[in-house]
Chains A and B, each alone.
Chain A
Amino acid sequence: MPDAKPVRVPQETVNDERVRLVRWRVEEGAPVEPGAVLAEIETSKSVLEVTAGEGGFLRRAASEGDWVPVGGVFCYLTVHADDPVPAAEAGAKTEGPAFSRKARALLEKEGVDPAAFSGMGMVREEDVRRHLASASAKGVRREPLSARKRSENAALSGGGANALRSLAALRCSEEAYRRAVERAPAFEATPSGLILFEAARTLKEFPLFNAYYADGDAAYYDGVNVGFVVDGDRGLRVPVIHGADSKTEDETAREIQDLLLAYHEDELNVERLSGGTFTITDLSGEGVTRFDPLINAAQSAILGVAAPEGGSFELCLAFDHRLHEGRSAAAFLHVLKSRITARA
């Protein structure tokens, strides 16, 4: 006998495909006797009470106000108060883009993170191919990983296709950063542009952070294309500065501003949104003092800029453990930090 007996919404009228859960009549986890009223549901005809067919501990699977499909589970009755219950049935919420069946299959096959398409509404197989092509079109050189890294990956991921995410953070002096920006007037309007500028150069020193994991290989990008996350009223987008390592401060600052303008005008084309090899996300304005950003598809690291606290702020580097480890991440962060503070 299963320990968690599902209680389903009864078919009360021919009309209804779903009913609304109006009110719970039993507390979460409370014991109920057979025949006890569990909840009130609203059909298109009336509000009805649903009673327990047998006794047990009530474990809710829906909240008041939710629509529950007729025949769907709205709670469980368990034998013991702490028996495990199945996770909620797939909810109605759909966040992020919708993927066609073929697109999803390709994503899984190629190990692309769906987040790479976060700016899109509907993703077809063709879009995934384009994304993969834009990654390879930039020129990718593949080198097999060391035997040690491979076996570590297999152990950690159990053969799974997704990044093994890890995070390293390094504190920077707020004062030093402020002075560095003062000395780089091009970045007056967009101070984190300075971080982008220096990160691009740091990536030249650490090419593995400008690469991604592919079927046991490290795929290195030839170019350094740094994307930065914009999340305003046009939704989340990641415009990309191509060849960021070879642009001057002025060029970098101007391009950032162009991209921001295009974002606000809703004119960011696919070109300017694709081909990123590394990403920066700046949440310092949100008061977040540490975070663990999601790595984009076909990349292996993302740099988060957190908000200052007690005179310093953190540079958070989320990285794919299949390519990197804490030590190399720390080295990357130290070089980046010293490049910035050296300007102060």
Chain B
Amino acid sequence: MDDRSEDRLRAALLIRAVETRLLSLYAEGRLNGTVHTCIGQEYSGIAVAEHLRPEDRVVSNHRCHGHFIARTGDAEGLIAELMGRPQGVCGGRGGSQHLHKDGFYSNGVQGGIAPVATGMAYELFRRGQDGIVVVFLGDGTLGEGVVYESFNLASKWSLPVLFVLENNRVAQSTPQRQTLAGGIDARAAAFGIATGSGVTWKPEALITAAGEAVARVRAGKGPFFLRIDTDRLNAHSKGDDDRPAAEVAKLRERDPLHAIRAAEPELYDRLEEEARLRVEKAVEAAEKVPEGGEDFEDADGWRGVSWSAAPGGEKARAVVRINQALADALKADERVSLFGEDLEDPYGGAFKATKGLSSAYPGRVRNTPISEAAIVGMANGAALAGGRPVVELMFGDFMALAADQWINHASKFGYMYGDSVAAPFVLRTPMGGRRGYGPTHSQSLEKHFLGLPGTRVLALNARFDPREFYKRVFASLDRPTLVLENKLLYGRPLDAPLPAGFSLEISDEAFPTIRLSPDAGADLTLFCWGDALDEAERAAARLFEEEEIFVEIICSTALYPFNAAPLAESVSRSGRLLTFEEGLSFSSLSAEAAAALAERGVLKQFSRLASARRPIPSSKVLEVRSLPDAAAIVARAKELLDA
């Protein structure tokens, strides 16, 4: 056996020793959670890793230990991580399925890593940087739609990403024949992606195949799809293998390590013992340090603020200032790029926010296919690769399609990778109704995306210049940031006169709270966010004019993390709180704000106004009935004062 083969064998035996030991640690109760071992599949990671360079990235899934060791060699960091120790590669936060070191990233949610890897490749390629991206997927994951969104984008944009499909013909308990229609390679081929294959029981040929795949991608020939047929010899996780013993026994016979042991028993035994000792030492070292390292929590946001008079509004519509803000960002920072549906000129975005930008910044503003999950997934990947992508979802409703990327990827990377990385990107999307777009294009879904540690959720309104707002967003962009725009806000002039007699102030927060105060003590505080401010203002004007009720409006721009202090301060003066939102109030920000005030004993008289508890109808009359407006605020405010 030559030196290189011996190195590969050493790596394979190390991986197997680690996996075997992890299973026994688990059985001994010394390991928390779960493991998915790759016993039988070791050569797949080894074959690919052998051809990689330091600048390349590897993205992997739940069955990632072998890929990680093959790529980084850090068995000690991996073992400490799984044992929950602070010296683990992610400080014990990520565990078995969430490993990160250097250019290696894994996530245990099936499929979502495909657009993440594609986004990394996009960013490297876009900026002319060296390096390719490899992503490992299981054959069961061929059932996830986002994989195909990624195939499509990677191929269309000719990105340097290698999709490695580990075909062990089983997914957890389900045999492939029950779930897979059509061919495997044919899937990639359908997107114009070149394909190749190998098998782990023929390591030398596999290594050659992997080498060719890597070389092709590195040569700039676009993505490549490498199918590696392999055998999962152990349970999916621990003790959950319902396959007939005879079937598994047959697989063991073609285990490549089995064959090498028979051919070179001495070498095999020596390397196996070497691996066993290394693993044992790593376990001992891990256990020397107590479990539970440094931890981190999002700030609860509560902070007293000071106020200053708001500057006069710009003589422009909100959409124009958003457009300028995006142009500013493109101009100021090479890392910024824009992608989403229909952004390019001459169309310039469904709401025209990106008009002119693809012409002014060729190649940096791109139309994507209709692939919301991949759009946000690629933003994740591009951000992890050092970019500052800005993506647009045409309607806020479609956040639902990207929820996995936002909730299980974007919000987790920073924390679960031990705060060593983050995915700083901007996701812009318009919420809101009153345009007759009906149940699926009118919602205000922000409540579903609030409270996720590691994220920021902001909402624009017409009283704070969007250009200045985005300037602040970019200046402090350290995490995934969702900016809620609003369909009606786009067309609003920013210099509309204030309701007569009211004065406008902004707080000193980076994402300021807006306060619209009457010139005498308020009878009621009206809380809102986003474009709801417009109806709130009308209501405040009418409440004074018609009812002689003085209303102070508090409008937050930072929905998460959320600072309830400015609201509490107002309510402690007025004694009454009315919250107003266009979305459904069940478990929404208004509930959260009220809870924060109640916890501090500030809440006495309180009422909430929100969308009717039904989908938003399309008929104008029905829609008007469903969404609360200024008239509804006036009526409710009177009730509250009469109570």
Which residues of A are at the interface with B, using a C-beta cutoff of 8 A? Answer: 13-18, 20, 42-46, 65, 67, 92-94, 97-98, 100-103, 120-122, 124-126
CB distance from B236 to the nearest CB of A (A): 52
What 15 additional pairs, Cβ within 8 angstroms, besides A102-B548, A121-B503, A122-B501? A13-B491, A14-B436, A15-B435, A18-B491, A20-B315, A44-B491, A94-B500, A98-B500, A100-B548, A101-B545, A120-B519, A121-B518, A122-B502, A122-B518, A125-B548
On whether the beta carbons of A92 and B545 are closer than 8 Å, the reply is no
The answer on a CB contact under 8 Å between B544 and A98 is yes
Contact A20 B317, CB 8 Å, known A15-B488, A15-B490, A98-B501: yes
Q: Which of B444-500 contact A (CB under 8 A)?
A: 487-488, 490-493, 495-497, 499-500
Is there a chain A Cβ closer than 8 Å to B276's Cβ? no
Q: Which residues of B contact A94 (CB under 8 A)?
A: 497, 500
Q: How distant is the Cα of A126 from the Cα of B523 in the complex, in angstroms?
A: 15
Contact of B492 among A13, A17, A42, A97 (CB under 8 A): A17
Q: Are B501 and A101 in contact (CB under 8 A)?
A: no
In the complex, are the beta carbons of A45 and B544 less than 8 A apart?
no
Q: Chain A contacts of B501 at CB under 8 A?
A: 97-98, 121-122
- Report the count of interface residues on B (CB-CB < 8 A): 30
Give chain A residues whose Cβ lies under 8 Å from the Cβ of B518.
121-122
Q: Would B491 and A16 count as touching, CB distance under 8 A?
A: yes
- B300 CB to nearest chain A CB (Å): 36
Q: In the complex, which residues of chain A have a beta carbon less than 8 angstroms from the beta carbon of B351?
A: 15, 44
CB neighbours (8 Å) of A16 from chain B are 491
Contacting pair B490 A44 (CB below 8 A): yes
Are A15 and B491 closer than 8 Å at their CB atoms?
yes
In contact, A98 and B545 (Cβ under 8 angstroms): yes
Q: Does B642 have its Cβ within 8 Å of any Cβ on chain A?
A: no
Q: Which of A15, A46, A102 lies at the interface centre, i.e. has the most chain B CB atoms within 10 A of its CB?
A: A15
Q: Does B319 contact A (CB under 8 A)?
A: yes
Q: Is the CB of A100 within 8 A of B493?
A: no
Q: Which residues of chain B are near A100, meaning CB under 8 Å?
A: 544-548
In the docked arrangement, what's the CA distance between A42 and B318, Å? 13
Nearest-CB distance from B525 to chain A (Å)?
A: 17
Cβ–Cβ contact A122 & B490, under 8 A: no
**Are the C-beta atoms of B491 and A17 separated by less than 8 Å?**
yes
Q: Once the chains bind, are B352 and A44 in contact (CB under 8 Å)?
A: yes
Chain A at the B interface: mostly helix, strand, loop or mixed? loop
Does any Cβ of A come within 8 Å of B550's Cβ? Answer: yes
Taking CB atoms, residues of chain A closer than 8 Å to B181 are none
Q: Which residue of the partner chain, among A17, A97, A122, contacts B550 with CB atoms under 8 Å?
A: A122
Output the nearest chain A residue to B495 by Cβ-Cβ distance. Answer: A67
Q: 13 A-B pairs, CB-CB below 8 angstroms?
A: A15-B490, A16-B491, A17-B491, A20-B315, A20-B317, A44-B490, A65-B315, A67-B495, A94-B500, A98-B499, A100-B545, A103-B548, A121-B518
A128 to chain B, nearest CB (A): 11
Residue of A nearest to B498 (CB): A94
Choice from B488, B496, B547 contacting A67 with Cβ under 8 Å:
B496
CA distance A338 to B487 in the complex (A): 70
Q: A20-B317, A45-B352 are in contact. Are A93 and B550 (CB under 8 A)?
A: no
The answer to whether B493 and A18 touch across the interface, beta carbons within 8 angstroms, is: yes
**A120-B500 Cα distance, complex, nearest whole Å:** 11
**A17-B491, A94-B500 in contact; A101/B546 too (CB < 8 A)?**
yes
B520 at the interface (CB under 8 A from A): yes
Within 8 A of A (CB), among B523-570: 544-548, 550
**B17-41 Cβ-contact flags toward A at 8 Å (1 or 0):** 0000000000000000000000000
| A122 lies within 8 A of B317 (CB) | no
Write out the residue numbers on chain A whose beta carbons fall within 8 Å of the beta carbon of B493: 18, 20, 67
> What's the minimum C-beta distance from A106 to chain B, rounded to whole angstroms?
12
Query: Would A44 and B545 count as touching, CB distance under 8 A?
Result: no
Cα distance, A65 to B495, chains bound together (Å): 11
> In the bound complex, what is the Cα–Cα distance between A32 and B502 (angstroms)?
43
What CA separation (Å) do A15 and B490 show in the bound complex? 8
The smallest C-beta distance from B280 to any residue of chain A, in angstroms, reads 68
Residues of B within 8 Å of A67, CB to CB, are 493, 495-496
Contacts of B319 in A (CB 8 A): 44
Distance, CA A122 to CA B549, complexed state (A): 11
Please give, as numbers and ranges, the residues of chain A lying within 8 Å of B352 by CB-CB distance: 44-46
Q: Which residues of A contact B487 (CB under 8 A)?
A: 15
Compute how far the CA of A101 lies from the CA of B543 in the bound complex, rounded to whole angstroms.
Answer: 10
Residue in contact with A44 in the complex, picked from B315, B317, B520, B547, CB distance below 8 Å: B317
List B contacts of A13 (CB < 8 A).
491
Cβ of B324 to closest chain A Cβ, rounded Å: 14
Neighbouring A residues of B499 by C-beta, 8 Å: 98
Q: A100-B545, A124-B548 are in contact. Are A43 and B491 (CB under 8 A)?
A: yes
- Give Cα distance in the complex from A47 to B127, angstroms: 35
Whole-angstrom CA separation of A16 from B489 in the bound complex: 9
Top 6 A-B pairs, shortest CB-CB distance: A121-B519, A98-B500, A44-B491, A122-B501, A98-B501, A15-B491
Cross-chain contact B497 with A92 (CB below 8 angstroms): yes
Q: For residue A91, which residue of chain B has the nearest CB?
A: B497
CB distance from A22 to the nearest CB of B (A): 11
Q: Tell me which residues across on chain B come within 8 A of A103, comparing CB atoms.
A: 548
Annotate B412-449 by CB proximity to A: 1 below 8 A, 0 otherwise: 00000000000000000000000110000000000000
Please give me the residue from chain B that is nearest to A125 by CB atom. B548
Cα distance, A259 to B548, chains bound together (Å)? 30
Shortest distance between the CB of A122 and any CB in chain B (Å):
4
Cα A216 to Cα B501 in complex, Å, equals 33
Closest to B348 in A: A45
Contacts of B502 in A (CB 8 A): 121-122
Closest-CB distance, B315 to chain A (whole angstroms): 6
B503 cross-chain contacts in A, Cβ below 8 A: 121
Write out the residue numbers on chain B whose beta carbons fall within 8 Å of the beta carbon of A65: 315
Give chain A nearest CB distance to B613 CB in angstroms: 26
How many whole Å from A104's CB to the nearest CB in chain B? 9
Chain A residues contacting B544 (CB-CB under 8 Å) are 98, 100, 122
Complex Cα gap A46–B347 (Å): 11
Query: For B497, what are the chain A residues with a Cβ–Cβ distance below 8 Å?
Result: 92-94
**In the complex, what distance in Å separates the CA atom of A125 from the CA atom of B519?**
15
In the bound complex, how far is the Cα of B519 from the Cα of A121, in angstroms?
Answer: 6
Q: Which chain B residue lies CB-closest to A104?
A: B545
The answer to whether B436 touches A122, judged by C-beta atoms less than 8 angstroms apart, is no
Complex CA gap A102/B548 in Å reads 8
